[in-house]
Amino acid sequence: MKRVFGYLFAAIILAWVGFVAFVYSAMRKPPEQFAALMAKLPGPAMLLFPFETMWGQARRGTVDVGDMAPDFTLPMLDRTGEVSLSSFRGKQPVVLVFGSYT
């Protein structure tokens, strides 16, 4: 009887590790693909893995504290042209804010 419970426990742990690995690999995909997968996942399944920790690792990126920010170009608010981050390099400080104030 102990052997049966041991095999059952090992199978459950193996299935959980496989599920966590599957979700982690999905988190590393583009947001649209990840959202499509998560929409099909039942809500209680979210309780089965450390979502926040895995999300922080999967979406961490490659920029570390002290690194130069990667260059990007965005349209100006009045839509009269574009502005790139590199145009400010060496001229003035730039503060980037990511988030919502709504």
Q: What is the mean pLDDT of each run of 10 residues along the chain (102 residues)?
A: 91 91 85 84 78 78 83 91 91 81 65
48 and 16 in contact (C-beta within 8 Å)? yes
Closest Cα to residue 58, out of 44, 40, 37, 72? 37
Residues 52, 54, 60: CA angle, nearest 5 degrees = 95
CA angle 93, 63, 35 (to 5 degrees): 115
> What is the pLDDT at residue 65?
85
Q: What are phi and psi of 82, to 5 degrees?
A: -125, 160
Q: Model-level pTM?
A: 0.54
